[in-house]
Chains A and B, each alone.
Chain A
Amino acid sequence: MRKSIQNLKVIANIKLNDDHHLLQLQAPDQLEKIYPGQFANIQVDHSQSVFLRRPFSIHAVDYQNNIISILIKGIGEGTRSLSQSPVESYLSVIFPLGNGFSLPAVNEKVLLVGGGCGVAPLLHLAQVLNQNSNDVFILLGAKAAADLVELDQYTRYGKLFTTTEDGSHGEKGFVTDHSLFGKELSQFGKIYCCGPEPMMRAVAAKAKQSSVDCEVSLENTMACGFGVCLCCVTETIQGHKCVCTDGPVFNINQLKWQI
């Protein structure tokens, strides 16, 4: 759908753990197609020091009820304020923004790797890949079991694996320590990754070594979210590109990462 600015109604605000909230936001009109990996830029009200909108991946889309879900980790004043949005209140949201992940060939086996808040766009992606008859493997990493959220949702669309730094859930270590990143990585036709940048660089390096195509969804501070402020650039082989409009999804071959 074309980007637009809308007042969306908070119809649910579910506390997932100490710092994660799931907001379900309902649009007044029929939602048109939103691609996995696209994002929403949400205005934070009632906060003195938060001036700009905050960008969030679109976590899930319910076309029947015109609902988009946003997974929020309360980190600073803006995200904490948004995570406390009362049900029945309205949020000003600009969406959908940016380019989504490119879809693989039907039936191709794919690996989705997420860490921290980076798991957010992967649920929508897993749902679409599942519908696309892909064989979907999902690997989510966190510090500890308590930081892993929505796991039952991910298992609806693929085979779920986890790593935790303390070993309290799944294999112990970082995502790239997981046995999926062993010799059999080349079984995947494509890797999709979103998470902290060091994690994405490590995943990208493994993908490159195994000659597996890899897309990453970058995060950056941005003022507008639709390509006019030019604040959120990243270095690419074609020079500075805006994360908001040229991304947030980039193929790792476009980036100038030393991997």
Chain B
Amino acid sequence: MADLSTVIHNIKLKNPVLTASGTFGYGIEFDDFFDVNQLGGFIVKGTTIHPRQGNAYPRMAETSSGMLNAVGLQNAGAQYFATEIYPKLTKYETNVLVNVSGSTVEEYVACAEIINELDDIAGIELNISCPNVKEGGMAFGTSCPSAAAVVSAVRKVYKKTMVVKLSPNVTNIAEIGKAAEGAGADSLSLINTILGMAINAETRKPVLSTITGGLSGPAVKPIALRMVWQVSQAVKIPIIGLGGIMNATDAIEFFLAGASAIQVGTANFIDPLATLKIIDGIDSYLNRHKISAISELIGCLHL
């Protein structure tokens, strides 16, 4: 067995496979399927300071090799998370991170302060890239000054590892990545979903209640790979790559592009065991290529 361990700032991962926020619930939902401690870690559902009902139905449209969603950060709020859900997560030995979102800088800070008190949470993923909320969310992640403002404000109150999740809906993602790094991010995760749209030709109506939504799945993988490559050339902090990873080969491509770890998202919906197959497949790949450790692969694209 090859050495699959990797490091994201202060977080040691036994393998580089995490799950993407919003595709893995609170981990608990997967207990029936497998022991989630086998993962390098998982990132729980986007959490905001106030409870959110999310967007109206319909929230999902299947597309060629992917899907659009417009969930809109439905969650019961940070306080509910801390008192009702967090105690159920302390049984897990693997790394649990919380995805934190908000409509204002103050909301991000207030939410991060609550998560900061939870000892068994390894870090936060600051979501400055949700395309499905009216205010905040992606707006913070689409300009360098606003990204830096929210990252530096949260940095003042959050003491552990802070990953910043970048939006692909920008002209130059490397610049946003550099701004987040300069403002104190310990790591970057990318990409969040790509803004898209689905129309029902028969009814001449948009499929989603919000008209536009976030595209995920294998359809976005080439864009995600390109962006991980570009950002990895621009920053020094570790990158967590995600976007359409369905199998181990996809994951390997992200490591070559410069990701130190990956997240599996939409694949969890179709195959709840996808992550385990990816971990096994990465190990097989390393053995087949006589590479002793995953760290030898990161950013080692042959040009």
Contact = CB atoms under 8 A, between A and B. Distances in A.
Interface of A: 2-5, 43, 48-53, 92, 94, 220-235, 239-240, 245
A259 to B, nearest CB: 18
Interface residues of B, number: 33
A44 to B, nearest CB: 10
9 contacts: A51-B270, A221-B62, A227-B25, A228-B22, A228-B268, A228-B269, A231-B60, A233-B54, A234-B57
Interface in B1-31: 22-25, 29-30
Nearest to B23: A228
Contacts of B281: none
A229 B270 contact: no
Given A3-B33, A51-B62, A51-B217, A240 B53 contact: yes
A223 B60 contact: yes
Given A229-B22, A240-B53, 15 more contacts: A49-B64, A51-B62, A52-B67, A94-B272, A220-B57, A221-B60, A221-B62, A222-B60, A223-B60, A226-B29, A227-B25, A228-B23, A231-B69, A240-B74, A245-B29
B29 A227 contact: yes
Contacts of B69: 223, 229, 231
A4 B273 CA distance: 10
B202 interface: no
Interface in B50-80: 53-54, 57-67, 69, 71, 74
A168 B248 CA distance: 56
Contact of A52 (B23, B59, B62): B62
Nearest to A44: B270
B266 interface: yes
Given A52-B269, A53-B270, A223-B67, A231 B59 contact: yes
Nearest to A225: B269
B32 A2 contact: yes
A230 B70 CA distance: 9
